[in-house]
Chain A
């Protein structure tokens, strides 16, 4: 038995199986994961690690275990999407811990959240005075969302009756010295226009550009490899 080759083959199987399952299970970010999702991730990762290097047991049972866990997670995700009461039961519900400036002690006790935890999360959001807080909600992922009292909310252009323009999303035209032709068409510009724009900025060749983007107003952002930092 060539252990090195067996580990290589089993690692490839484990890695790509995990990649496929992770893609199937969706795009939840780490910050959005609930505690249960986090534990599931660790368990699935641990099974994949055993599949890769634990030669004292066969690869097949580990792979079956990995598949079963992934299928159960996928089934729960599907079920919570289709059935709202089930979602509340499985994922949990957000809990209001401060309502109209009043701390909800019973609600905090029910989710085993201390005042220290709430104050820490408020400070993390730059709020050091409880008088400013209108509502605070502990989300299912354990993070606190805060709504300040109206008098402490930051002023918006609408409050100041200012007119604003939407800048929209910018599109990459050059990345790593190469033109992205698909994006040129999408932005309704051509290579000639882009080269002229570069010349006006003193750039003689596209290969000098690291990144070029264009926004919906047609404004070009350029970054070259040569950084003139002083």
Chain B
């Protein structure tokens, strides 16, 4: 029993470590209802394309809340720069929606989507 435990404890520990480090990757790639960030990105994009600026600001606010909820789940997986990058994209996106600048808003949104995709790696 003792010998089994001496093998089992390190193996289980290593498995737990891998799950902690790669759990965020599963969250990002999963299709569960909790993973609503890509959905909000699409909504904001269609709002901007249709120049519905008030709706875009509301959807961006929802996206911001969803992102803040997602951070604790992915913070052990993602690097700080990627997390900060998305945070900055949201801030700049908010400004460009307020200024009703379609080009800048779409550029920020695409960069945000790219950052989100990079988190999967």
Contact A9 B79 (CB under 8 A): no
Q: A1-B71, A17-B14, A20-B13 are in contact. Are A59 and B80 (CB under 8 A)?
A: no
A20–B17 Cα distance when bound, in Å, is 12
**Given known A1-B83, A56-B80, contact A63–B17 (CB-CB < 8 A):** yes
Q: CA–CA, A56 to B82, complex, Å?
A: 9
Q: Size class of A's contact patch?
A: 20 to 34
Residues of chain B with a CB closer than 8 A to A60's CB: 21-22, 77
Pick the contact of A16 from B13, B22, B72 — CB < 8 Å? B13
A17-B75 in contact (CB<8A): no
How far apart are A12's CB and chain B's nearest CB, in angstroms? 9
Q: A1-B83, A56-B81 are in contact. Are A6 and B76 (CB under 8 A)?
A: yes
Extra 14 A-B pairs, beta carbons < 8 Å, given A13-B21, A60-B22, A63-B17: A3-B80, A9-B76, A10-B76, A20-B13, A20-B14, A23-B10, A55-B79, A56-B80, A58-B21, A58-B77, A58-B78, A58-B79, A59-B76, A63-B18
Name the interface residues of B59-95: CB closer than 8 Å to any CB of A: 71-72, 75-81, 83-84
Interface string of B3-21 (1 = CB under 8 A from A): 0000000100110011011
Chain A, range 1-40, C-beta contacts under 8 Å to B: 1-3, 5-6, 9-10, 13, 16-17, 20, 23-24
